[in-house]
Chains A and B, each alone.
Chain A
Amino acid sequence: MKNWLANMVGKGMLADYVHSPLADLPLLALDFEFNSLHKKEVKFMSAGWVTGQHFQIDYDQSYYRLIRAKGDLQQSPIIHGLTARDIAQGVHAKEMYSSLMQYATTHVWVLHNAYLDMNMLKELAYRFGEAMPAITTIDTMQLALHKLSKGTGQYGVKHDAATLDSCRRRFELLSSPLHNALSDAQATLELFYAQLYDIDPKGEMRLKDLKSATNAVKVY
């Protein structure tokens, strides 16, 4: 715990927020679409993010890009409704990566299943011969599992109970019609706000408290 906090504070930008309530944190919710879930053959298809703070979401810095790709695309483009032309028009993965890294030390990142996305990002950085900076994340899936397992024990949780849609349904948030990285990023941030109010209605928790109470806070 000392390590992650030191990392964050050490970078300076987030230091002001260490003692602030969670709602005050500058957040970046993000999502990617991949062509494969295998780390070694993965290609990023698209990336999307929105920023928010104080239970709000605004679109000043929201971002959505398709990623230009070479080689086989396997099955995923059909699922995500992308055509070959869309993909050809996208930006290079490196360009997206650079844009994203501007938020590495200024925002706490919010993801649904952070483990997958962050490891894929690390892999991407590795391919560019770069080391990804330490990034503080909150995982909405872990928050959901934490709550679900309270009642049932973790092994009692149904396998599809922690998908983004089923988590949102429990808070009566509209199910998102599209599987687009930007839509899912917004859907994730909305879900986080609902979870945050559920866990901490009085707004007193800090990042540190959330980390010790759940498995949802991690530094990658």
Chain B
Amino acid sequence: MSDIPQQVVQYLGASAPFDVFDEDTLHGIARHVQVVYVTPQNCEATLMKMMPSLFLIQSGQFTIHDENGNERFLSEGDYFGYIKLLDKQVGNIKIDVDSPGIVYAISETSFIESCENRQFLSFFKAAKDDVLQNQAVSESNTMWLYRPLCEILERPPIAIEQDVSIQKAAEVMSENGVSSIIITEYDHLIGIVTDRDLRNRVVATGLDIQMPVHTIMTEKPAYILHNQNMFSAIALMSEKNIHHLPILHSDDRKPMGMVTTTDVVRQQRGNVVFMIGEIAKAENLYQLTRLAWQMPQYFAANAKRAGDFDIAGKVLSQATDIMTRKLIEFFIDQHGQPPLDYCWVVYGSQARQDQTMGSDQDNALLLAQEPDEAQAEYFARMSEYVCKSLGKCGIKLCPGNIMASNPKLRLSVGAALKQARGWVRQFTPEAILEFNIYLDARAVAGERLLFKTLQQERKKSFQESMFLAAVARTASSQAVPLSIFNKFVYQKHNGKKDCINIKNNGVALINDLARLYALSAGITIPGTVDRLNILGEIGTINKQDADNLRDIWLFLNRLRWRHQLRNNATDNIISISDLSSIERHQLKAAFKSIQRAQDVAVNRFSGGLS
């Protein structure tokens, strides 16, 4: 009988799922193991000849094009070959050796015998399914939140003209099995009627059912445009506490359909989004701060799945928006109506809707004209109140003083335009880093038209090629944390040596790229996922590349949220040892993709000069 080197048995025993077996069984398995030092030259002659087998990597790095055609980057502790062992029908794998190393080949017989252990079998079955799940985040069960409403619409709108009788309206509703109906005048939305209106305003009051339907409708209802996404619809419904939301076409404002709470409940899986409804009910600063401080615990308790992490940033930003609107309301209640039209604008993560627990506030006030002394005083006090109160709600004050409470950030539209032209003329790297944050902007309260005017006016200047070239160079100057040998480049943090700042070295790099392309295409939407979706649709970026960047962004975002919620942290510094083996590979692949996208951007906008 042959003897087996102890390290083979030990390595097997330390690699899940072989750890379910006792020492004797492991010896039996090890006896049929073949150990290969796999190099690019011998890969074909060794591993390929051993198939089908289960392969376990002890050292080295490999790119496997697996049985289902997926590309996977594998290294120490990873398996391959099991898909074929579990399903004979699939195709063959292809192996590229990125760096040579030792691979254990476990025979098919040993694998089949081992599969008699249920735990062992379910490990590989799950691994097999995982590969399928990882195919694209876009197929994940929460991507519906990001999809434009027009894609979710299942039927044409149920609408009737305002002079039709109540009885006819009720008939149309029951024929179509809907609980609400859009009331139009010359095909334009003027109201809605719901089951509840029929009960409360007709049946309960004994109203004549031949009366025109407009007599019982809710006039000027809230609505949403068809190019917005489901998330915005949910947020609006939660904030306004309504159950039916008409969808209008963004161009001609004609009704296109209706979103109802039932649709939401049907699709909704995580419930983190309902925090918004709670905040919207706050009646004073005290209630608002109390609710706001519950948010971290609320998130920690409710955000468990990857899908919850995808929307957590949106929920938090939406919550901050609502807090801001509430605070402005509270201020106006106390100090009277504003003397000028104004618009409260937010920047950075709040604008992009990717806030995390550690995000600070970045905001500004845009005024309809240069204020006189008294007007300036009113807005100074308003900004001071809102920013400080947001701070009390846990949204940290901005250390860089990018806040409306800073007089430099309370500009008239004219002054803001002049400022933007200045940026375009002075595009030193330092200047770009400084004003980058202002390029992700969103109006949150007040007169949105002011902001829209500013956006439209400055859009052209931002499309100048010299300016874009400079932004491209800045966007690519920050490198991903990979060495030339494709190893992670770590930083030390809290006594751990294997840390990576997933925001600065990952998420922010994709934000930069999405911003660059959005500027070039004149897209003013600030969110990175939304930007990438549009850029892919209109072909500014190849659709596949745009989808890939979006998936990577969502993946990195999941990692940072999980880190913050699990460790009750507000930083973005994750330890690689906290990641599963598969996540490590995904992270590495993600960084490589970002690097490639940076190269492409520099080539495209600055002719390759970086």
Q: Contact: B37 with A59, CB < 8 Å?
A: no
Interface segment out of the listed A12-20, A135-143, A148-156, A173-181? A173-181
Asked if B34 CB lies within 8 Å of chain A CBs, one says: yes
Among A56, A64, A171, contact of B34 (Cβ-Cβ < 8 Å)? A56
Cα A186 to Cα B36 in complex, Å, equals: 11
Among A54, A177, A182, A194, contact of B3 (Cβ-Cβ < 8 Å)? A182
Cα A203 to Cα B40 in complex, Å, equals: 11
Asked if A55 CB lies within 8 Å of chain B CBs, one says: yes
Q: Per-position contact with A for B1-19: 1 when CB-CB < 8 Å, else 0?
A: 0111111101100000000
Cα A172 to Cα B486 in complex, Å, equals: 14
Q: Per-position contact with B for A43-66: 1 when CB-CB < 8 Å, else 0?
A: 000001010001111111111100
Given A55-B42, A173-B59: A193 touches B37 (CB 8 Å cut-off)? yes
Asked if A128 CB lies within 8 Å of chain B CBs, one says: no
Residue of A nearest to B99 (CB): A172
Cα A133 to Cα B3 in complex, Å, equals: 26
Asked if A30 CB lies within 8 Å of chain B CBs, one says: no
Among A57, A174, A197, contact of B11 (Cβ-Cβ < 8 Å)? A174
Q: Contact: B3 with A64, CB < 8 Å?
A: yes
Asked if B301 CB lies within 8 Å of chain A CBs, one says: no
Cα A176 to Cα B102 in complex, Å, equals: 13
Asked if B328 CB lies within 8 Å of chain A CBs, one says: no
Among B6, B35, B100, contact of A183 (Cβ-Cβ < 8 Å)? B6
Contacts of A197 in B (CB 8 A): 37, 39, 41, 100
Asked if A185 CB lies within 8 Å of chain B CBs, one says: yes
Of B30, B37, B45, B59, the most chain A CB neighbours within 10 A belong to B37
Contacts of A54 in B (CB 8 A): 42, 45-46
Q: Per-position contact with A for B95-138: 1 when CB-CB < 8 Å, else 0?
A: 00001111000000000000000000000000000000000000
Q: Contact: A177 with B7, CB < 8 Å?
A: yes
Contacts of B30 in A (CB 8 A): 59
Among B3, B35, B38, B39, contact of A57 (Cβ-Cβ < 8 Å)? B35
Interface residues of A: mostly helix, strand, loop or mixed? mixed
Asked if B238 CB lies within 8 Å of chain A CBs, one says: no
Given A172-B59, A173-B59, A174-B59: A182 touches B2 (CB 8 Å cut-off)? no
Q: Contact: A194 with B37, CB < 8 Å?
A: yes
Residue of B nearest to A198 (CB): B100
Among B2, B46, B58, contact of A174 (Cβ-Cβ < 8 Å)? B58
Given A174-B59, A176-B7, A177-B7: A55 touches B2 (CB 8 Å cut-off)? no
Q: Contact: B102 with A173, CB < 8 Å?
A: yes
Among B2, B36, B102, contact of A59 (Cβ-Cβ < 8 Å)? B2
In which size bucket is the chain B interface?
A: 20 to 34
Q: Contact: B100 with A62, CB < 8 Å?
A: no
Q: Per-position contact with B for A109-129: 1 when CB-CB < 8 Å, else 0?
A: 000000000000000000000
Cα A23 to Cα B7 in complex, Å, equals: 24
Q: Contact: B34 with A186, CB < 8 Å?
A: no
Asked if B33 CB lies within 8 Å of chain A CBs, one says: yes
Cα A185 to Cα B5 in complex, Å, equals: 9
Q: Per-position contact with B for A159-179: 1 when CB-CB < 8 Å, else 0?
A: 000000000000111101110
Contacts of A33 in B (CB 8 A): none
Asked if A187 CB lies within 8 Å of chain B CBs, one says: yes
62-119 of chain A: CB within 8 A of chain B: 62-64
Contacts of A55 in B (CB 8 A): 36-39, 42, 46
Cα A60 to Cα B6 in complex, Å, equals: 15
Asked if B31 CB lies within 8 Å of chain A CBs, one says: yes
Contacts of B100 in A (CB 8 A): 194, 197
Contacts of A56 in B (CB 8 A): 34-37, 46
Residue of B nearest to A202 (CB): B41
Q: Contact: A178 with B6, CB < 8 Å?
A: yes
Given A187-B7, A190-B102: A62 touches B2 (CB 8 Å cut-off)? yes
Contacts of A193 in B (CB 8 A): 37
21-49 of chain B: CB within 8 A of chain A: 30-31, 33-42, 45-46
Shortest C-beta distance, B105 to chain A (Å), equals 9
Shortest C-beta distance, B206 to chain A (Å), equals 85
Pick the 7 closest A-B CB pairs, nearest first.
Answer: A193-B37, A64-B3, A57-B35, A186-B5, A55-B37, A197-B39, A62-B2
Extra inter-chain contacts (5) besides given A55-B42, A174-B58, A182-B6, CB under 8 Å: A55-B36, A55-B39, A59-B31, A172-B60, A201-B41
A-B contact pairs, 17 of them (CB 8 A): A55-B38, A56-B36, A56-B37, A59-B30, A60-B2, A171-B59, A172-B101, A177-B6, A180-B5, A183-B6, A183-B7, A186-B7, A186-B35, A190-B35, A197-B41, A201-B39, A203-B42
